[in-house]
């Protein structure tokens, strides 16, 4: 069904001309996007796409373009687990910003490419608002500290850095330009062309 808010292209076939969402055209080239907030709806759609692509060809690589400020830890970890579980290698490309949970997802790629002016940001998990009894606050705090360790371990595992080095960086909002991300082990290369992205 046509959605006027979604970018589309016109394709010709033996049946005439068809309006196809660019997202579908990208999927046919094994390209998917994480754009905007990391939330349940976005992640569930990406998980479906990755599972579909694995069924099509379990060995062919997939390119995941990321431009996201981050979002839900639970949703992000669900996508991380699926990225690790599918057999096809997932190349991540940072186009703009990969922050918070989006940075963790970027760092976990089989190949990690950044455009020249893109940035990463890593930090400890946050709670926006909470309230309740002292016991409730303690439970929330304990869970947050455990989540901090989990996130740091994932980043450490994919960067080659120690947990201590990662925790020192995530204690504050730590931004990395492409060159700095490569030096710190969070990215592999800077690319200036997307022509080789398939």
User: What average pLDDT does this structure show over 123-146?
Assistant: 85
pLDDT at residue number 131: 74
Where do the structural domains in the chain lie, given as residue ranges? 24-190
Residues classed as catalytic: 100, 123
pLDDT at residue number 74: 96
pLDDT in tens, 149-166: 999 999 999 999 999 999
DSSP for residue 6: S
24-190: CATH homologous superfamily?
A: 2-enoyl-CoA Hydratase; Chain A, domain 1 (3.90.226.10)
Query: Is the pLDDT confidence value at 6 over 90?
Result: no
3-state SS assignment for residue 25: helix
The span from the CA of 71 to the CA of 42, in Å, is 11
pLDDT at residue number 198: 45
Q: pTM to 2 decimals? A: 0.89
């Amino acid at each position: 069904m046509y959605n006027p808010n979604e970018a589309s292209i016109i394709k010709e076939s033996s049946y005439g001309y068809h309006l196809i969402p660019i997202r579908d055209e990208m999927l046919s080239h094994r390209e998917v996007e994480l754009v905007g907030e990391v939330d349940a709806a976005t992640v569930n759609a990406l998980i479906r796409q990755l599972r579909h692509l694995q069924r099509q060809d379990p060995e062919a690589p997939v390119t995941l373009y990321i431009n996201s400020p981050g979002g839900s830890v639970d949703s992000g970890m669900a996508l991380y687990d699926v990225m690790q579980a599918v057999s096809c290698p997932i190349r991540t490309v940072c186009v703009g910003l990969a922050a918070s949970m989006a940075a963790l997802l970027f760092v976990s790629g089989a190949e990690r490419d950044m455009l020249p002016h893109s940035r990463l940001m890593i930090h400890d998990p946050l709670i926006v608002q909470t309230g309740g009894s002292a016991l409730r606050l303690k439970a929330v705090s304990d869970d947050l500290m455990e989540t901090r360790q989990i996130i740091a371990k994932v980043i450490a595992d994919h960067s080659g850095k120690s947990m201590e080095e990662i925790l020192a960086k995530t204690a504050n909002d730590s931004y990395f330009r492409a060159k700095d991300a490569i030096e710190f082990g969070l990215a592999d290369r800077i690319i200036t062309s997307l022509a080789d992205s398939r």
